[in-house]
A and B are shown apart, each in its own frame.
Chain A
Amino acid sequence: MKARSSHTTIARIGRHLLLLGFVVIILAPFLWSLNTSLKPLSEILSYPPTLFPAKIFLGNYINVLSQNEFRRFILNSAIVTLFSVILTLLVSLFAGYAAARYNFPAKEFLMLLLLAGMAIGRFANVIPLYFLAIKLKLFDTYLMLVLAYSAFITPLITWLMQSYFKTIPVAIEEAAKIDGCNTWKSFWMVVVPIMKPPIVAGAVITMSRAWNEFILALTLTRSSDMRTLPVGLHFFLTDYGVEWGPLTAASILSIIPILIVFLWLQRYFLQGFTSGTLGGS
């Protein structure tokens, strides 16, 4: 009994050490960026590198935040991300509901086709999307980015929604209808409130994708007024060399909104994922 208990303890310690190692690997680049962003150039380039800044230096953050373009990049990313989240959630909610509740010809095939579309990488779509944007006169507009981002992520979120809708008993909607709700009303008043976890999970996934996306943002926009944050970060990689201080400061600043949202909604996010995919399928 004692031997078994010590065996369990060792296994638990091993597991924790493994997790700790994993956390260190994940956090190390972030912490090193944070560390670099708080150093002046002379200290960034010094050898051997210092583990902590000799003195906290905020010059890189001031430099970045005082640039009008950088503030504009943040605003553009915020606009594109917000609308992408709204559009993706709306379409996915309806599509997921239809797939979960209604039977229609070739439903399974269509759902698989939807998923198969995700196998085509974004890079393969860049050129066709560019030409499409020009034809539709949507080149260099927020709308084009929103449509493109939403189109790429909607299949995944639709599947997520469908799985979760299936876990909600139909009886709840039937009860609502007995109480006088029509389908539309019961959808919004009864079903959607229960869908909080997958909606949050879908929102967080879409947000992180749209916020971090680079190649489409680079190709589908042209003017400085339309550039988003990931493209803006690339401007710190100049042909003069890498501007490490401003680059790391800007990277840290760009992570903050996603981090805040994730920490705020992480409970629902995890619930949405586990219930929607494992529990519901």
Chain B
Amino acid sequence: MMRRLLLVMLGIALLMSSFVFASGKQESSQAEEAPTIVFQTFLTPGKDSPREKAWGQIIERFTAKTGIKVETNIMPWSEIDPQLILSVQSGNPPDVSFVRDKSFLRAMRANVLMSLDDFIERDYDESRKNDYLLWDQDGVYKGKKYAFHMHYIPVALYMRKDLMEKAGLEAPRSWDEFVKVGKALSSQGNIAYLFAVSPAQPTALDYLQPMIEGRGGKVLTEAGKAGFQQEAGVETYKFLKSLIYDHGISPKSTATIKYDEVTDAFSAGRVAMVIEGAHRYKRIVNALGEENIMLARIPGVDVSLPSPTSVAGWNLGIPRGSKHPEAAWEFIKFATGTEAQIIYTKVGGQIPVLKSVLNDQYFRSEEGAIAGWFVEYMNTAGSLAIGPPTYSQLNELMSVSLQEALSDANSDVEKILAQSAEKYNSIVDSQ
């Protein structure tokens, strides 16, 4: 019996070996006319989702135009940055890679990207540079440019249009109006406003940055030290706390809620207002219907001065040690150029990085109006999402301190923030 079992196992193994060797990667002996570049991404080009469809088209057009083939390394989005550092340090990098902008400085500290200045100087004139929405801020480290945004993710206030209309409400422009609208929505039995606090998926900075900057403060000082414990930060924390304990607009459970749960709750129609990124707009519309969603700028301290939107996104960069830097540069140039950006906006539903894209008829259509609205918001009040090398520690500290402040009606916000600032500064000093 045992012998038979072993024989069966060996038989299966032999069968599978033949498959393994047959399907293994074979080094082509034929000389390639144009190089094949390796692109590290978290999206599978050509698949069903809007962004993946768009990438399929972009790569197809790039290859048709340049003859350069693109092979993809696909990995979960949260693993892109650590795997990039590892691959560069082992001398086995891809030719082009996505780099999360919030991890950009960490990547630069690990010295994993090559400067693009020589390519830019050779290929870009001033008009091309001016076409980028945030040219001076994007992918710049110590005066040199290392990466280009592929798309932007600004945040905005998402509201349930049907509930607002039913209650005869208009989008709030100031935080005072926000409280009034929230109370009116709550009185009708809704959870008026939900925000993600749980450190299990720390994203508090996404909405804290615009709220603090809208009050005239800064999350970090120019020197990279904590600035969130100052007046604007304290006011923001106290305001969020008042939404739970004074106004009953947000449930106490918000202190334990994760980002994905907030999106899910809003998509399921259980919440009336959230602050959310542009990248999840299509997902929410698919769940609730376009007719039930409205967007507004994040309210400010005054009706005439809304808070800025913090702008995040994914960069494209060339890792050090890339085997085909020239072809990789051609790829970045194409992907962030007008043709590809129009595809990424129209098919992928993303917010473009070029001003010239806005001239396309698409932005005058109903479908493109949302993207145009986001670009306008970003263009007039956009602030790049902060991404210090200690981003993950900062984000986690902010979530933990906010959770502590919200968990108790009598919490001492000043003290909590001062302690967090001290911890953060010691992290910065130790690096």
Interface residues of A, Cβ cutoff 8 Å to B: 41-42, 45-47, 69, 78-79, 82-83, 85-86, 127, 130-131, 134, 139-142, 188-189, 192-193, 195-196, 199, 218-219, 222-225, 227, 231, 234-235, 237-242, 244
Contact = CB atoms under 8 A, between A and B. Distances in A.
Contacts of B260: 241-242
B330 to A, nearest CB: 22
B2 A239 contact: no
Given A45-B287, A218-B75, A79 B2 contact: no
Contact of B2 (A41, A47, A196): A196
Interface string B75-99: 1111100010010001110000000
B267 A45 contact: yes
A196 B92 contact: no
26 contacts: A42-B268, A45-B267, A45-B268, A78-B16, A79-B16, A82-B12, A85-B9, A130-B86, A134-B90, A189-B3, A193-B1, A193-B3, A196-B1, A222-B75, A223-B25, A224-B44, A224-B74, A225-B25, A227-B74, A235-B74, A235-B76, A237-B77, A238-B42, A240-B279, A240-B283, A241-B283
B91 A199 contact: no
B149 to A, nearest CB: 15
B120 interface: no
Given A193-B3, A219-B83, A79 B20 contact: yes
Interface string B1-12: 111001001101
A139 B92 contact: yes
A89 to B, nearest CB: 8
Contacts of A193: 1-3
A45 B264 contact: yes
The main secondary structure of chain B at its interface with chain A is helix
B23 interface: yes
A16 B25 CA distance: 55
B268 A46 contact: yes
A221 to B, nearest CB: 9
B76 A83 contact: no
A67 B142 CA distance: 44
A141 B268 CA distance: 43
B287 A41 contact: yes
A32 B394 CA distance: 34
B403 to A, nearest CB: 21
A234 B77 CA distance: 9
